[in-house]
Structures are given as structure tokens and as C-alpha cells.
Amino acid sequence: MVFGGTCFVDCVFEGSDRLGQGRNVFADGRQDVAGDIESPALFLDLVEADDLGTIFNILGPLTNPAGVKRQLVGVFNTELCRPMAEVLHRLGAEHIMVVCAKDGLDEISLASATHVAELKNGEVTEYDITPEDMGIKSQSLVGLTVDTAEDSLKLIRAAFGRGHDEMAEKARDLIALNAGAAIYVAGLAKTLTAGVEMALDAMGSGLAAGKMSELADFSQCF
């Protein structure tokens, strides 16, 4: 995991993995970077807001093949947030964030408020967050859609680099929101905002880019 390795913590991102009509924003880079390994730092499956999910889209997080007790879970409907958190609690989870953005994304969105059901200390609470709550400016997702795996990888590398063009900075902010949440639920940051700051620091310092290169090299061994 790029941010897990960079920030010295293991974490898993589980999403509802809805399939859209077009290409996912970052997901197409996965084959170039690390096979089918999924990370909150890299593979944000951003799809059309009107796509419909099914019960099969939420089985992955519930079966929890990695056996983790701390997860960032994306779902396709806000009404699933609390039930998912409660079920994961019964299955032994310790700290969970189940998220669904108001614009329909099954991630923490850069373009709208996101609904959260958080399991922590044995209790589930619900609330909404915006990018501004974590020190990031809300922006549209225009320009982040890619058509090929090569374009996806190029955008990821730009986000992990030190470039200051508009698309690189927008991608960096979107990654930081979700990676920061994963860092928070993993217990390395005391607050969600602190987790986002750690994610931004990892990208700004070059640590994330270095870890991505290591992961890409490792994936070539299989």
C-alpha cells in the first residue's frame, strides 16, 4: 500500500466498486502500478453519479478477505452508511468510516459534501464533511477523468510529484482526502484533518512517489 508503507501503517480500502459507463479516474492505473492491489492513495473509483449498485457491490467489504479491523469503506447510497458500519461492528471491526458523497461518488468527494458513518469506540455516529473541514478547497472533478491506463498513471505521478499545475493539484487534493481518512482510521492520526495533512506531506516530500516506485518494482516479481 503506497500510503500504508509511506506512513508506516497497513491499511486497506474497500469500495463498492461500481462500474461506470466511462473510465474510472484513477483506477485504470492499477495494472501499471501494482496489478490488482487497491490503495486509498491510488485507486479512487469515481463513476457517474446516476449509476446503480447492487447487493453484490457491498459484499467485498463485508467478507473482508484481509481480516482488517480498521477500514475506509465507500458505498453507493448514503442510506447504506450506518447499516454497513453496524454490520462491520458486529463482525469485530474497531474503527470504520463508511462514506458516500452527496454527488454520488463512493469516495470522499472534492466536489461536494460527503456523508459518513463512523464506528469508533464501539459506537456509530453519522455526520457530513466537506473538503473545507479538512483545510482543502472544494473543486469540481472536471479534468480528472482519464481515457487510458497511461493517462491515469501520468495523473497519479503528477499528483505524487511536486508539480503545481491545476490538474496535478486537484488530483493531489482528492487523493489526500481519501488517503488521509485511511490514515486516520488506521490510528496514525488523531483527527481526520491531521490524516489529510500527513497525506499531503507524504506527497509533497516525495515519499509517496518513492513508495509507488517500490510497489511497481515489487509487482513485477509476480
CA distance 53 to 181: 23
- Strand bridging mode 114-120 / 95-101: antiparallel
Q: Which residues contact 173 (CB under 8 A, 6 or more apart)?
A: 110, 131, 136, 137, 139
What pLDDT score does 19 carry?
A: 33
What pTM did the predictor assign?
A: 0.76
Angle, alpha carbons 203-32-97 (nearest 5°): 55
Q: What percent of the chain has pLDDT over 90?
A: 47
CA distance 142 to 167: 9
Q: Output the furthest CA–CA distance in the chain (Å, rounded).
A: 45
What pLDDT score does 47 carry?
A: 36
Task: Identify any residues that bridge with 1 across adjacent strands, giving them in sequence order.
Answer: none
What pLDDT score does 23 carry?
A: 40
Task: State yes or no: pLDDT of 24 exceeds 50.
Answer: no
Distances (CA, A) of 142 to 110, 139, 146: 11, 9, 10
**Rg, Å, the chain Cα set:** 16
